[in-house]
Amino acid sequence: MSSPRSRFADIEYDPPIEVFQLTENYKKDTFDKKVNLGVGAYRDENGKPWVLPVVRKVEAQLATDLTLDHEYLAVAGLEEFCIASTKLALGEDSPALTENRGVGVQCLSGTGSLRLAAEFLRRAGFDTVYVSDPTWGNHLGIFRDAHFPNIRKYAYWDAEKRAIMFDRLISDLKGAPPNSVAILHAAAHNPTGSDPTQEQWAAIADVCEERQIFPLFDSAYQGFSTGDLDLDAWAPRYFVRRGFELFVCQSYAKNFGLYNERIGNLAVVTRDADSNARIRSKMRTIIRQMWSNPPAHGARIVATILNNAALFNEWKEHVRTMASRIRSMRELLYQKLKGLGTPGSWEHIITQTGMFSYTGLNTKQSEFLVRDLHIYIMRDGRINMCGITPSNVDYVAQGIHEAVNKVDSKV
């Protein structure tokens, strides 16, 4: 007698998640010159993960602290973490903090912060969200799963000029209906690596004010753009000074290297303390239904470092080190491509900032790199600059040179 057919037999496979599948394929590859430029994680000059020394130090301290336990945190998170994290986003002298209008809620890294923001905003009556074109791939799925009926794109990247198409960006936001949400990348735009200037941010704020758009800042790379934590937070802080109510979704995966600890914060800025209290109460209810309680270990690491002047300064130096290495690899790759005489303009590699470069390589050229040369990059041509090292940059540059010359650039 045959066993009954599973009730799930008709469930279809979802396509693999590209960036993680790319890494799996890279790990299985036995080619000795293989290069992984896909996954969004920092790598040192030897292509290895870097656990920040200050993180190691604090972990050792926590491991010997016998007063710590594994009891639940408050649903909204470790209070000293939330306070310190919100200060990092908004600045210690922020009017939102001095007037008690800013508050934080611990979340599961940047993704959890965005998911909580999306769920809250949808329940609060918002139904339209604008994302940059292109944007981080998960933005669309997060707001779709929060049941936003209208997910729209605003122009951002000019593929021909390899720069922000600012006039069209402004035009698209001017067409947004009132009470739309706009996801704005605080610094080191993913995937393009191109950020608005301060003057352009002011113009974006003008449109948001005129159209009553709610700004939702995604701050996953604070410190990675310029190496300066304050400069990389300029945009959300400027909007706060302009009097906006807004959210800032923070992640400590990149700038603390705490990728698998899932530590993030949702900084909430409103017009009064009472609104903050009501919002936080609603968010606690949502959290209880989604992940119930946040993780303590990573929150304790971040809180300890942010609240200790000596440790904080040590961490800032680590952030500068990471940002500096990324900038040096941008310059090195640019010079190698220039030296090879690779067709096209490659100045965008050094004018872009942060972890990623939007190379301008098309899908066919990217697939050629992966298939023929074992250089693993995203199909849209995005590369993680941290994956480039002094020992592999010649191979990567030669690979890009071959892709440009051998594969149709018009595909």
Active site residues: 136, 218, 254
- Residue 109's nearest CA partner among 252, 247, 236 is 252
Give CB contacts under 8 A, 24+ apart, made by 380-383: 380/134, 380/191, 382/191, 382/356, 382/357, 382/358, 383/37, 383/38, 383/356, 383/357, 383/359
Measured CA to CA, the distance from residue 53 to residue 358 in angstroms comes to 30
Measured torsion, CA atoms of residues 373, 376, 378, 379, in degrees rounded to the nearest 10: 30
Is it true that the peptide bond before 15 is cis, omega within 30 degrees of 0? no
Contacts of residue 378, defined as CB under 8 A and 6 or more positions apart, other chains included, come to 18, 19, 22, 38, 191, 366
| Surface-to-core class of residue 135, CB atoms within 10 Å of its CB (0-12 exposed, 13-18 middle, 19+ buried) | buried
> Which of 344, 287, 309, 377 lies closest to 107, judged by CA?
287
Question: Taken in order 138, 144, 147, 150, is the CA torsion positive or negative?
Answer: positive
The CA distances from residue 353 to 113, 252, 350, in Å, are: 23, 18, 7
DSSP string, 111-148: HHHHHHHHHHHHHTT--EEEEEES--THHHHHHHHTT-
Query: Tokens 């912060």 map to which residue?
Result: 113
Q: Encoding tokens for residue 314?
A: 């040590």
